[in-house]
A and B are shown apart, each in its own frame.
Chain A
Amino acid sequence: MRSLVALRLVLHDRASTAGALLGVVAIVFLVGQQLSVFFGLLSFMSVLVDHSGADAWIMSRDTRNLDAGKLIPARYLDRLVGLPEVEWAEPILIGSNLFRTPDGSYETVRLVGSRRPRYAGGPWRFAAGDQHALLDLEAITVDQIDLPKLGRPAMADLTEIGDRRVRLAAITQGARGFQGTLVFGTLEKVREIIRTPAGQVSAIVVRFTPGTDREAALARLRVVLPYASVFRTEDLSWLTRQYYVTNTGIGGSFGFSTVIAVVIGVVIISLTMYTSVLGRNRDFAVMRALGGRRRDIAFVVCAETLIITGLGLFLGFVMLAGLLHFALDSAIPCYLPAPVPIVLAVGTLLVSLLASLFALRTALQAEPAQVFH
């Protein structure tokens, strides 16, 4: 009966219900949107590492993130391929240069060169063409998201990167880097474009033989390559993300805007619930006079909050899903890892209950004696 009373009050007090709903939706949608952009950017930061298909990355000594490593000798490969723990090892070359667009202007692109035929660290999903397109020495790929920025080059179009001739041979999907447009090519072509001396690479990616003890294999690599950094792929991904989050202000910026969204939601929920309870003060006094205990009143107020929060979560997540769907193929970085919506829902529920504390306190002050004039 108390739940029914709460539901009836929620349905009847439409103005305050709408206000509190707005607060819950504001928290879910604004925080969810902030988090989706944040996690979208996080996924950009380590996109190359996450899609490399490798178990370990070899980079220069004291490297702190993927984008801040010195070149390492390619001959390290020879030391690695002979190890029984190593199934394969492949070099990667990463650098930047200018892409000449059809109208003659230039765009900075991030070039990633990988070795035929495995193309480890190379492109992983295609909107047009496939990996075989990179068998052509001049071939490069660009991502479909970046096509407008690059002047909408067509497949097989010739252009220049760093004054070297390239041909658009395939279009990737979802290959977006934190430092700009990702262009994949062969190791030789990228070496030529970014003018790296022969015998040097940016990193070596390693896949261990199935059944290998990974920790033991990593330790072995560190012994074999004492002047290089040996990372587990997950560790390099984490280090790269952590570096950008803590050193670029992204973490603080998103944290601040998330807190602001929560505060706005809490204020809206607090005020509307408080006003609603004030307006219902006499009704709570009647309930007390009829035999309601304080805990019965608390039950009604909390049930009201839960009903509004449940409805707000539904509306907020529908809106968020709409945004994510809309942003799927846009330039807006949007990505929500599976546990985030659950954490967001639980967090919103707790925050809503917290915001209703003022209202609850007021409701509990209703005395049965108030109903007598």
Chain B
Amino acid sequence: MATLHSERLARDFSDGTSLRRVLFPTTLTLHPGELTVLSGPSGSGKTTLLSLLGLVLQPTEGRLRLDDRDLTDLDEADAATVRRQAFGFVFQQPMLIEGLSVRENILLAIGIQGERPSAAHQAKAEALLADLGLAGTGPLQPRLLSGGMKQRVSIARALVKDPAVLLCDEPTSALDAESGQAVMRILKRVALEERRVVVVVSHDARVFPYADRLLKIENGQIVADARERYLP
């Protein structure tokens, strides 16, 4: 499994008249088998860091590597291909596409560049659904599922392509406490048992016990980096 490494990664935003630095040079190594929680107040830069790590934003400076592969200067199409192959995303809202069935939403992560999902992919999608407690929901429309179920579908969508890195943006904030705990247990298992890099952005304290590593970010800078296992 791969290691994600950022080296003095920074990002500026322009409001049209002046530049504002929202993330100061940040050096991090994120290891497989580890669930990293990135917390901090609103506007502290945690989502910006997550976007940079997931190749959806280009850094103003610094470098990003996945193992030995430098991902910093990829053009838009190549960055999209790397995202499709190596990164899984779980968003604050499940963001499933209405009109596509649950199964099609999951397989979209495989086929978005035109590939026809193989029988093995389809079997894997069904297996993931069963694994996440959603057996039999494949043909259903997302609107028929509860919020917690949708979020688990979005986790299945992120995992169906066996990503080396799973990036989650506030995955529990739209869920009730019980569903949130269920989602975190799944993410924890994905990190530990499947040896993936898992990064969870959250300011929900109920998430922290699941972290192998807790990063705190304020004003665009990491101010604390604690490695502590809260749960066995």
A in complex with B: yes
A residues touching B (Cβ–Cβ < 8 Å)?
A: 1-2, 4-5, 8-9, 11-13, 282-283, 286-296, 299, 367-369, 371-373
Closest partner residue, chain A, to B52 (CB atom):
A369
Evaluate contact between B114 and A290: CB separation under 8 angstroms.
no
Report the Cα distance A288→B81, complex, angstroms. Answer: 10
Given contacts A2-B114, A290-B157, 14 further A-B contacts (CB under 8 A): A5-B108, A13-B99, A283-B95, A286-B91, A287-B108, A288-B56, A289-B91, A290-B84, A291-B81, A292-B112, A293-B113, A368-B80, A369-B51, A373-B169
Report the Cα distance A9→B113, complex, angstroms. Answer: 17
Residues A289 and B56 in contact in the complex (CB < 8 Å), given A9-B99, A12-B99, A368-B83: yes
Residues A290 and B108 in contact in the complex (CB < 8 Å), given A12-B98, A296-B113: yes
Evaluate contact between A282 and B95: CB separation under 8 angstroms.
yes
Residues from 77 to 124 in B contacting A, C-beta threshold 8 Å: 77, 80-85, 87, 89, 91-92, 95, 97-100, 104, 107-117
Closest partner residue, chain A, to B50 (CB atom):
A372
Q: What A residues does B56 contact at CB under 8 A?
A: 288-289, 367-369, 371-372
Evaluate contact between A293 and B95: CB separation under 8 angstroms.
no
Q: Is B224 an interface residue (CB 8 A)?
A: no
Q: What B residues does A12 contact at CB under 8 A?
A: 98-99
Evaluate contact between B84 and A291: CB separation under 8 angstroms.
yes
Q: What A residues does B126 contact at CB under 8 A?
A: none
Evaluate contact between B112 and A287: CB separation under 8 angstroms.
yes
Evaluate contact between A1 and B99: CB separation under 8 angstroms.
no
**Interface membership of chain B positions 177-217, coded 1 if the CB is closer than 8 angstroms to chain A and 0 otherwise:** 00000000000000000000000000000000000000000
Evaluate contact between A8 and B104: CB separation under 8 angstroms.
yes
Q: What A residues does B114 contact at CB under 8 A?
A: 1-2, 296, 299
Between-chain CB contacts (< 8 Å), 6 pairs:
A5-B104, A8-B104, A283-B98, A289-B56, A369-B51, A369-B57
**Interface membership of chain B positions 51-63, coded 1 if the CB is closer than 8 angstroms to chain A and 0 otherwise:** 1001011000000
From A8, A292, A294, B99 is in contact (CB under 8 Å) with A8
Q: What B residues does A5 contact at CB under 8 A?
A: 97, 100, 104, 108
Residues A293 and B77 in contact in the complex (CB < 8 Å), given A4-B104, A9-B99: yes
- The A interface, classified by DSSP as helix, strand, loop or mixed, is helix
Closest partner residue, chain B, to A282 (CB atom):
B95
Q: What A residues does B91 contact at CB under 8 A?
A: 286, 289, 371-372
Residues A292 and B169 in contact in the complex (CB < 8 Å), given A4-B104, A373-B47: no
Evaluate contact between B80 and A288: CB separation under 8 angstroms.
yes
Q: How far is the CB of B69 from chain A (nearest CB, A)?
A: 16
Q: How far is the CB of A163 from chain B (nearest CB, A)?
A: 75
- Among A292, A368, A371, A372, residue most surrounded by chain B Cβ atoms (within 10 Å): A372
Closest partner residue, chain A, to B89 (CB atom):
A289
Report the Cα distance A370→B192, complex, angstroms. Answer: 30
Q: How far is the CB of B75 from chain A (nearest CB, A)?
A: 10
Evaluate contact between A371 and B99: CB separation under 8 angstroms.
no
Report the Cα distance A299→B99, complex, angstroms. Answer: 18
Q: Is B228 an interface residue (CB 8 A)?
A: no
Q: Is B170 an interface residue (CB 8 A)?
A: yes
Q: What B residues does A283 contact at CB under 8 A?
A: 95, 97-98
**Interface membership of chain B positions 40-51, coded 1 if the CB is closer than 8 angstroms to chain A and 0 otherwise:** 000000010011
Report the Cα distance A286→B85, complex, angstroms. Answer: 15
Report the Cα distance A265→B143, complex, angstroms. Answer: 33
Q: Is B76 an interface residue (CB 8 A)?
A: yes
Evaluate contact between A290 and B83: CB separation under 8 angstroms.
yes
Q: How far is the CB of A28 from chain B (nearest CB, A)?
A: 26
Evaluate contact between B169 and A11: CB separation under 8 angstroms.
no
Evaluate contact between B108 and A1: CB separation under 8 angstroms.
yes
Report the Cα distance A294→B77, complex, angstroms. Answer: 8
Report the Cα distance A283→B99, complex, angstroms. Answer: 11
Q: What A residues does B57 contact at CB under 8 A?
A: 369
Q: What B residues does A294 contact at CB under 8 A?
A: 76-77
Evaluate contact between A286 and B95: CB separation under 8 angstroms.
yes
Q: What B residues does A293 contact at CB under 8 A?
A: 76-77, 80-81, 113
Residues A292 and B92 in contact in the complex (CB < 8 Å), given A9-B99, A368-B83, A372-B50: no
Report the Cα distance A368→B51, complex, angstroms. Answer: 9
Report the Cα distance A77→B84, complex, angstroms. Answer: 84
- Among A12, A288, A290, A292, residue most surrounded by chain B Cβ atoms (within 10 Å): A290
Report the Cα distance A59→B78, complex, angstroms. Answer: 73
Report the Cα distance A299→B114, complex, angstroms. Answer: 9
Q: What A residues does B117 contact at CB under 8 A?
A: 1
Q: How far is the CB of B22 from chain A (nearest CB, A)?
A: 12
Report the Cα distance A342→B25, complex, angstroms. Answer: 61
Q: What A residues does B104 contact at CB under 8 A?
A: 4-5, 8
Q: How far is the CB of B60 from chain A (nearest CB, A)?
A: 14
Q: How far is the CB of B209 from chain A (nearest CB, A)?
A: 23
Evaluate contact between B99 and A11: CB separation under 8 angstroms.
yes
